[in-house]
């Protein structure tokens, strides 16, 4: 039997690793309690202290002369385990052998020189089936919640002029219905005093990044049966922002999360009698001091409900984050939902409709507003999401008052949407199979083996044609 190492990064969360080729040695001296248990294989139990927030701090303490010395530590990713080894040069800088991405499979392989290491990993804590289906194995993908993501929750293209009202109200359309959204600002203390702030483009990007990280394996937990909580660190948000070429400092990220927690939004149907939603993007938030201290947020009820009912869809995250115009990012998601609902490769929208539903404010002159909307459409052509666009002016006498855009989606974009639809359908079928045909009205816990099967089925569905 291969020697095993039991690692617990916090109470109630354990990982079991069985190394098939090398017997790992864990050095003393950095807050690790070790106890060798009796039994087959000589099991070595290692309890990591919660102070070990960054594994790379441990690397210089490893013995560079011992090429098969491995350290196990709680990394910046609270729900993941990372395994490190000294570099072959003996510098102690280290090489990641089993990292967060490798943990998607219980049998992970990572090459180090000419040696192969097999690590069998099992997380024994039960997980809701819907959370496993929310996860994506491809970091270039993220999940979209249509109504929540298309609601004009953000304030951008702000001009100097009359003071904005305390509460901004906007109307928008979705799924053939009309809605009203109300945005209530919050007070933020800065170097020049206290100011009222709404959610802006920065908050849009930070929320998108946080939701993408939340699609990694085993990052989410269910609280009180309906709430979805996500623990993370500010450092990993900053690193992911840098990866997608959006640079914000830790102070800016911290303020963005505070705004996402404090700015309340209310969404209601214009023909309905009650509010559909009245909550912040992150209704609950706890932020510890320091860059690597664990922060957690609870997702907006619309996002939590979409996870529970499996009504989310995947979108191309790298393309989305590569778009620098917030109106173009909104339009990409709108065209995604439009094609998914109708199956029509040709989508038609008015410039005034794009302005209204995206939350773009009124411009002083119609000519400049129409030019602004045309630039947003052109971005999607440049990104390869649209093959062709016909812009037909709407005239009032000799004055151009609007533009009708007839947009032909590119084959690659339509393929992405069709793939997303297949995954959403597969998620429903997988859930129905394990729940005896029940609709996902509530979160259903499953054992680790079932969670792995769900992830594996999602990977097969996610694979390109000919690679499944």
Q: What is the pLDDT along the chain (468 residues), one digit of tens a residue?
A: 333 333 333 333 333 333 223 333 333 332 333 333 333 333 222 323 222 222 322 323 233 343 333 333 333 333 333 333 333 333 333 333 333 333 333 323 232 222 222 223 333 467 899 999 999 988 999 999 999 999 999 998 665 445 556 889 999 999 888 999 999 999 988 777 888 899 999 999 999 999 999 999 989 999 999 999 999 999 999 999 999 999 999 999 999 999 999 999 999 998 876 667 899 999 999 988 766 668 999 999 999 999 999 999 999 999 999 999 999 999 999 999 999 999 999 999 999 999 999 999 888 899 999 999 999 999 999 999 999 999 999 999 989 999 999 999 999 999 999 999 999 999 999 999 888 888 888 999 888 888 877 777 666 555 554 443
C-beta separation of 35 from 42 below 8 A: no
d(CA 110, CA 360) in angstroms, rounded, equals: 48
Residue (of 202, 112, 123) closest to 155 by Cα position: 202
d(CA 270, CA 146) in angstroms, rounded, equals: 18
DSSP lists the bridge partners of residue 115 as: 112
Residue (of 227, 438, 421) closest to 341 by Cα position: 421
Residue (of 312, 282, 261) closest to 142 by Cα position: 312
d(CA 136, CA 154) in angstroms, rounded, equals: 26
Contacts of 182 (CB under 8 A, 6+ apart): 167, 168, 169, 265, 266
Task: Name the strand (E) or helix (H) holding 378.
Answer: helix 366-382
pLDDT at 449: 80
C-beta separation of 196 from 184 below 8 A: no
CA angle at 44 for the pair 41 and 49, rounded to the nearest 5°: 160
d(CA 300, CA 403) in angstroms, rounded, equals: 35
C-beta separation of 299 from 228 below 8 A: yes
pLDDT at 316: 96
Q: How far is CA 202 from CA 161, 267, 357, 380, 436, in A?
A: 22, 22, 19, 21, 43
- Dihedral of the alpha carbons of 92, 82, 107, 2, in degrees to the nearest 10: 70
C-beta separation of 94 from 392 below 8 A: no
C-beta separation of 3 from 44 below 8 A: yes
Residue (of 414, 432, 413, 428) closest to 458 by Cα position: 428
3-state secondary structure of 291: coil
As to burial, measured by CB atoms within 10 angstroms (0-12 exposed, 13-18 middle, 19+ buried), residue 17 is buried
Using the structure block, give the residue that is written with the tokens 């199979």.
433
pLDDT at 333: 97
pLDDT at 311: 95
Residue 292 has which token pair?
A: 């690597």
3-state secondary structure of 403: strand
Using the structure block, give the residue that is written with the tokens 């020697």.
3
C-beta separation of 209 from 288 below 8 A: no
C-beta separation of 120 from 452 below 8 A: no
pLDDT at 137: 85
As a three-state string, the secondary structure of 64-124 is CCCCCCCEEEECCCCCCEEEEECCCCCCCCCEEEECCHHHHCCEEEEEECCEEEEEEEEEC
């Amino acid at each position: 039997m291969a020697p095993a190492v039991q690692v617990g990064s916090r109470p109630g969360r354990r990982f079991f690793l069985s190394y098939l080729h090398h017997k790992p040695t864990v050095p003393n001296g950095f807050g690790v309690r070790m106890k060798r248990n009796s039994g087959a294989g000589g099991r070595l139990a290692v309890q990591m202290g919660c102070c070990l927030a960054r594994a790379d701090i441990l690397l210089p303490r490893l013995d560079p002369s011992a090429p098969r010395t491995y350290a196990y530590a709680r990394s910046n990713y609270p729900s993941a385990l990372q395994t490190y080894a000294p570099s072959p040069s003996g510098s102690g800088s280290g090489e990641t052998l089993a990292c967060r991405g490798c943990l998607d499979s219980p049998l992970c392989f990572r090459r180090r020189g000419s040696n192969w290491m097999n690590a069998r990993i099992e997380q024994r804590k039960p997980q809701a089936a819907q959370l496993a289906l929310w996860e994506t194995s491809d970091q270039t993908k993220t999940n979209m919640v249509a109504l929540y993501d298309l609601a004009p929750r953000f304030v951008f293209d702000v001009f100097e002029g009359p003071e904005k009202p305390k509460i901004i109200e906007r109307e928008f359309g979705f799924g053939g219905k009309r809605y009203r959204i109300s945005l209530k600002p919050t007070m933020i203390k800065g170097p020049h005093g206290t100011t009222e702030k709404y959610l802006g483009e920065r908050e849009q990007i930070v929320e998108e990044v946080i939701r993408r990280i939340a699609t990694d394996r085993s990052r989410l937990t269910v609280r009180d049966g309906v709430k979805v909580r996500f623990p993370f660190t500010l450092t990993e948000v900053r690193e992911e922002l840098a990866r997608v070429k959006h640079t914000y400092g830790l102070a800016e990220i911290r303020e963005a999360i505070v705004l996402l927690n404090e700015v309340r939004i209310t969404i209601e149907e214009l023909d309905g009698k009650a509010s559909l939603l009245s909550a912040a993007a992150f209704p609950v938030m706890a932020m510890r001091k320091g860059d690597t201290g664990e922060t957690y947020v609870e997702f907006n009820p619309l996002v939590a409900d979409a996870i529970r009912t499996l009504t989310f869809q995947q979108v191309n995250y790298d393309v989305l984050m590569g778009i620098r115009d917030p109106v173009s990012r909104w339009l990409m998601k709108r065209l995604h939902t439009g094609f998914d609902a109708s199956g029509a490769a040709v989508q038609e929208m008015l410039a005034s409709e794009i302005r209204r539903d995206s939350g773009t404010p009124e411009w002083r002159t119609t000519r400049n507003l129409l030019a602004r909307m045309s630039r947003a459409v052109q971005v999607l052509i440049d990104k390869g999401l649209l093959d062709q666009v016909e812009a037909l002016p709407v005239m009032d006498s000799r004055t151009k008052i609007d533009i009708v855009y007839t947009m032909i989606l590119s084959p690659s974009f339509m393929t992405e949407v069709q793939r997303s639809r297949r995954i959403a359908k597969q998620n429903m079928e997988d859930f129905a199979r394990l729940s005896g045909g029940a609709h996902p009205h509530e979160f259903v816990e499953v054992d680790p083996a079932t969670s792995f099967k769900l992830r594996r089925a999602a990977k097969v569905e996610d694979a390109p044609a000919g690679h499944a």
